[in-house]
Each structure stands twice: as C-alpha cells, then as structure tokens.
Amino acid sequence: MKSTQTDDRIKIAVQKSGRLTEHSMDLLVRCGLSYSRGKDRLICYGENMPVDVLLVRDDDIPGLVQEDVCDLGIVGLNIVEESSLTLRADGATRLFEKITPLDFGHCRLSFAVPREVRYESPESLAGKRIATSYPRIVSAWLDKEGIDAKVVVFSGAVEIAPSLGRADVVCDLVSSGETLKAHDLQEVETVLQSRAALIRTPVELAPAKSQWVERLLQRIGGVLQVRESKYIMLHAPRSALKEIKALLPGSEAPTIMPLEGTDDKVAVHAVCRENVFWETLEELKEVGASSMLVLPVEKMLA
Ligand code: PRT
Ligand code: ZN
C-alpha cells in the first residue's frame, strides 16, 4: 500500500476513452483544474491544484480506488455495484465509499426478451439463459426474486446473444432503447438505475490531502448545483407577489426591489435551484409577471 506521507497529490481515476470521459474531464475543469497530459497520455497532471487524473478502463476504477492506488474515481453505478458484489464475494472487507452521484452517464440495466416472446412477470425468466456483462447484479436480483435461471457471461455485444442462439434473454445497459429495438428485443424489467458517481478510497487521507479532497467535493457540489440553477428577473404587481413566489421553482428568498415611477409594481430577482421551463414563464405571465429574464448561473458556493 502506498505511503500518504510521500505522496501528497490526489489521484483521480477517470475512464480513458468512452462515454464518461468527456463529462468527467469537463467536471474537473469546471472545478478549476487545468492540466497537461503526460507523454504516454495515461496521466493528466494538474497544474494549479495537487490533483492528477489517471486515465484507465472504467472496469478498473473501483479496484484502483478500493486498493487506495487512487483516492477518488468517477465511474458508473452499474460498475460500482458489480464490483462491490465481486469484491465482497472475494472477501474484501473495506470497499470504496460511494460519495456523490453525478449528473451524467444516465442509463438503466434492464432485461430484454425477443419481441415475439410474452413476458408477464419475473417468473417468465425461470429456466431461461440470460446473457449479461453484469453476472453478480443479475444473480443477486434473481435470488431476491426467487427465480432459477442460468446466467451466461458476455463481455460485450450482449444484444446479439439471442440471435446467435446463445441465450433466451439479455440483461444489458439501455439509454435510448434504440440498440434493443435494432436487435428485435423488447425491454421488460429494470434491475438498476445508473449514472456516473464519485467514489473515494476507504483509507483515511493525510490532513493536507483531505483538505483538498473536501475542497474539490465542495466545488463539484457547486458545479452540479449551478448546472440545475437559473437566475430569474421579472417585474410583478405587488398584489401577485405571493403567487409569483410560489411559482418560482426551488427558490428560497427572492430579492424584491422597488421600481422607479410606480408603487404597485416591483422587481423580483431569484436564484431558482431547478431549471425554469417555458411552462413556468407562461404561468408567471398569467398571474401578472412581465419583463421576465432567465440567466444561467456561472458559479455558486453555499
Ligand atoms: O473501455 P471501457 O471498458 O472503459 O469502456 P466500456 O466500453 O466498458 O464503457 P462505455 O464507454 O460504453 O460506458 C461507460 C459507462 O457509461 C457505462 O458503464 C455506464 O455507466 C454509462 N452508460 C450510459 C452506458 C450507456 N449509457 C449505454 N447506452 N454504457 C453503455 N451503453 C451501451 C449499452 O451497453 C448498449 O450497447 O449503449 C448501448 C445501448 O444504448 P441505447 O441508447 O441504444 O439504448
Ligand atoms: Zn468497461
């Protein structure tokens, strides 16, 4: 195990090349990180923070964090769950900590059957061969449901298993559902809702490192909050203020300011901690709001 005294830079494991890569690096950049890439392109060295990013396959991320090779990792909850079950089955007592679910990489792990097959309930899976890259999650789900079925492990292209005659059912990640459709499969049951998440080493960090990790987590929280938030400005009749405040999504205490030359109208400024949709603006207009402006929020720190 590495010594935290000799190495006081934070290491974050991020997917090298795949669906989570761009979002993960974008998140770190929004937290203020600027970096240069090592010659082998496997490490990004933080230039303005003691933070380095290791670029690896997503499947390796939980293990690297659990073994404390990396302090933090960004990986899908699907991989987190499968690895947790595997590590526990292998006797690991200290796993990584799941800390923050992030706002990208949304998908679900679902069972799908050929279009012509009737599926009524989990019992319909009894005695079937199920192709999946997530054998631990699927087996745990089948056990919980009390279903006896055979799990066939595929490391990729799971959706072709039924047409190859290798399985009757698949259990794979789905986002738009287009891949299943293209293979004449219908989604019938969801086992796990997933998205990217930040995980942390089970080992206690040295104080200096810990302070930086806390700082980074606070900034990540700020970035996530900002992406959801909007700043709204509008004019409102004083008489409609109560209704208008109630319509502002996720806003706490709006600022109310007088308007020059009129006593019965005021300006309302508020941070909405949820997106402001056209429907909300239309409802605000109906109760008397006018001159509405919705602006993005650049940074936010609670
Ligand atoms: O090389 P490495 O091992 O790092 O990458 P990988 O090929 O294992 O992973 P990658 O890049 O495909 O996905 C990384 C992570 O993104 C996953 O672990 C999930 O957490 C998340 N994610 C989000 C998805 C999807 N959406 C997704 N749609 N991962 C895979 N898919 C695949 C799915 O397996 C299926 O083949 O996309 C296809 C279905 O997509 P739809 O839109 O047609 O339903
Ligand atoms: Zn992978």
- The closest alpha carbon to 77, from 96, 54, 105, 57, belongs to 105
Residue range 213-229, pLDDT digits in tens: 999 999 999 999 998 89
Residue ranges with CB less than 5 Å from ion ligand 2: 58-59
Give the integer Cα–Cα distance in Å for 211 and 217.
10
Asked if residue 6 has pLDDT above 50, the reply is no
Residues in a beta bridge with 35? 46
- Which CATH entry fits the domain spanning 230-296: 3.40.50.12160, 3.40.50.620, 3.30.70.120, 3.90.230.10? 3.30.70.120
**79 alpha carbon, closest ligand:** 1
Q: In this structure, which amino acid lies at residue 38? A: G
What confidence tier does 16 reach under pLDDT thresholds 50, 70, 90? Answer: very high
What's the confidence (pLDDT) of residue 41?
82
How far is the C-alpha of 257 from the C-alpha of 22, rounded, in Å? 42
CATH topology of domain 10-105+196-226: D-Maltodextrin-Binding Protein; domain 2 (3.40.190)
pLDDT digits (tens, 9 = 90+) for 277-292: 899 999 999 999 999 9
Q: What is residue 127's predicted lDDT score, i.e. its pLDDT? A: 97
Reported as a single tens digit per residue, the pLDDT across 70-124 is: 999 999 999 999 999 999 999 998 999 877 999 999 999 999 999 999 999 999 9
Ligand nearest to the CA of 156: 1
Gyration radius (Cα) of the chain, Å? 25
Residue nearest to atom 7 of ligand 1 (CA): 18
Quick: pLDDT tens for 124-176. 999 999 999 999 999 999 999 999 999 999 999 999 999 999 999 999 999 99
Q: What is the pLDDT of residue 302?
A: 72
Per-residue pLDDT band at 274 (split at 50, 70, 90): confident
Locate CATH 3.30.70.120 in the chain: 230-296
Q: Say how many Å lie between the CA of residue 136 and the centre of ligand 1.
A: 18
- HSE at residue 96, side-chain half, CA atoms within 13 A, is 34
Residue intervals in the chain for CATH 3.40.190.10: 10-105+196-226, 107-193
51-56 sheet: strands from edge to edge: 35-37, 43-46, 51-56, 10-15, 72-76, 196-200, 97-101
Least distant ligand from the CA of 76:
1
Q: How far is the CA of 211 from the centre of ligand 2 (A)?
A: 31
pLDDT value at residue 253 = 86
For the beta carbon of residue 92, count every other beta carbon within 10 angstroms. 16
Binding site membership of 107 for ligand 1 (Cβ less than 6 Å): yes
Q: Is the CB of 19 under 6 A from ligand 1?
A: yes
Query: Would you give the end-to-end CA distance of the chain in angstroms?
Result: 36
> Do residues 5 and 57 touch, judged by C-beta distance below 8 A?
no
Q: Note the CATH architecture for domain 107-193.
A: 3-Layer(aba) Sandwich (3.40)
Helices 21-30 and 207-228, interaxial angle, to 10°?
A: 100
Q: How far apart are CA 85 and CA 96, in angstroms?
A: 12
